[in-house]
Amino acid sequence: MAGAGKSTFVQRINSYLHSKEPSSPPYILNLDPAVTSTPFEANIDIRDTVNYHEVMKQYNLGPNGGILTALNLFTTKFDQVLSLVEKRAETVDYVILDTPGQIEIFTWSASGAIITDAVASSLPTVVAYIIDTPRTTAPATFMSNMLYACSILYKTKLPFILVFNKTDAQSHDFALEWMHDFEAFQAALASHRGTTDDEGEPTYMNSLMNSMSLVLDEFYKHLTAVGVSSMTGAGIKEFFDAVEASRTEYENEYLPELARARAAREETLQATKQDSINRMMKDLEIDRAMNPEAAARDRWDPEAEDEDEDTEINIIDRSTSCFLGGLMTNAPDCMRR
């Protein structure tokens, strides 16, 4: 969530990990190309690879389109990023990714999904969703925030922690109550201005939120919520306790699911291949039955085979000679060298 305090939170957990005994400095990736400065020193920074302003200029894009395209360009290099991260995984306990704040840009983009899947299939991963607690006290805002969180959970299927930030300014107790007590949320909703129309009937918005809160009640069971202040450091230890619990969840639930999905994909691929071969063989049989003379001539000739030694098919790697396609055509100009 933009402005919720993600960067400040990353800086806080960074300094917590540096100062804890024994010290455990994390490996940090900044994936937000538009950020002007970060309060932490990133080990890998998207801004070193992609020039966000150049991307906007070259493709004639606005800020969001610019971030998305910069992220797309960066994703083409993500295998290199991943190998750097994997090399360091032996020596660091935590790898932190600070993402662009707009949910559409990261969670719902192909690049975001590629990055998330790549990281999650090589390291135990947890999603921390940072919420601006003082700006979430209205039931409607709270609900839209929870719907966002819910969509990220269902998209990534990864262990998930709701981080209620800025608890120095606003305690997150109200949120915990609404999450655990459905009736308390309903009461808050009913007491809020604008929930009934002129005739005292619930407004459309109110009825919708009532129904959705029933759905969300089920979703809350799958989440861990912690309250923190990135400003003062309160709650950071509890956050790391939740991260440790998530590691177990990742190993017991996400990894077996990942292995199942991979096996199913492989099975489908094999079945498709076999089906294509079967259909090709059948077509060949029909063809031979219809043209017996041509079929008789079309036999393997071992002598001809000896003459023609170069039977190997060479796959051409086009990417080494030139880039084709809209995205990559001008890309080298936007990529820093």
Ligand X SMILES: Nc1nc2c(ncn2[C@@H]2O[C@H](COP(=O)(O)OP(=O)(O)OP(=O)(O)O)[C@@H](O)[C@H]2O)c(=O)[nH]1
Does 230 help bind ligand X (rule: CB under 6 A)?
yes
Does 231 help bind ligand X (rule: CB under 6 A)?
yes
Residues 262 and 137 sit within 8 Å (Cβ to Cβ)? no
Does 51 help bind ligand X (rule: CB under 6 A)?
no
- Please state, in angstroms and as integers, the Cα–Cα distance from residue 335 to each residue in 47, 49, 75, 113, 320, following that order: 10, 6, 12, 21, 16
Whole-angstrom distance, CA of residue 61 vs CA of residue 55: 8
Of 49, 109, 156, 165, the one binding ligand X (CB under 6 A) is: 165
Does 127 help bind ligand X (rule: CB under 6 A)?
no
- Element spanning 69, H or E: helix 63-75
Does 63 help bind ligand X (rule: CB under 6 A)?
no
* Six-digit token string for 25: 């400095």
Binding segment (CB under 6 A) for ligand X, from list 3-11, 108-116, 214-222, 303-311? 3-11
| Sequence-separated (6 or more) residues with CB below 8 Å from residue 5 | 130, 132, 165, 166, 230
Closer Cβ to ligand X, 81 or 130, answer by number: 130
Whole-angstrom distance, CA of residue 307 vs CA of residue 324: 37
Burial of 263 (0-12, 13-18, 19+ CB in 10 A): exposed
Does 70 help bind ligand X (rule: CB under 6 A)?
no
Does 235 help bind ligand X (rule: CB under 6 A)?
no
Closest approach, Cβ 8 to ligand X, in A, equals 3
Does 15 help bind ligand X (rule: CB under 6 A)?
no
Does 5 help bind ligand X (rule: CB under 6 A)?
yes
Does 168 help bind ligand X (rule: CB under 6 A)?
yes
Does 166 help bind ligand X (rule: CB under 6 A)?
yes
Question: Which residue(s) pair with 130 in the sheet?
Answer: 163
Whole-angstrom distance, CA of residue 57 vs CA of residue 70: 12
| Sequence-separated (6 or more) residues with CB below 8 Å from residue 325 | none
Residues 259-298 that bind ligand X (CB under 6 A): none
Does 6 help bind ligand X (rule: CB under 6 A)?
yes
Whole-angstrom distance, CA of residue 193 vs CA of residue 197: 10
Terminal C-alpha separation, the chain? 31
Does 137 help bind ligand X (rule: CB under 6 A)?
no
Closer Cβ to ligand X, 2 or 263, answer by number: 2
Does 101 help bind ligand X (rule: CB under 6 A)?
yes
Closer Cβ to ligand X, 126 or 228, answer by number: 228
Binding segment (CB under 6 A) for ligand X, from list 2-10, 180-188, 279-287, 329-337? 2-10
Binding segment (CB under 6 A) for ligand X, from list 151-159, 225-233, 246-254, 296-304? 225-233
| Sequence-separated (6 or more) residues with CB below 8 Å from residue 224 | 160, 161, 162, 242, 245, 246
Does 169 help bind ligand X (rule: CB under 6 A)?
yes
Does 2 help bind ligand X (rule: CB under 6 A)?
yes
Of 3, 63, 256, 332, the one binding ligand X (CB under 6 A) is: 3
Residues 238 and 12 sit within 8 Å (Cβ to Cβ)? no
Closer Cβ to ligand X, 160 or 164, answer by number: 164
Q: Which residues bind ligand X (CB under 6 A)?
A: 2-8, 35, 101, 165-166, 168-169, 229-231
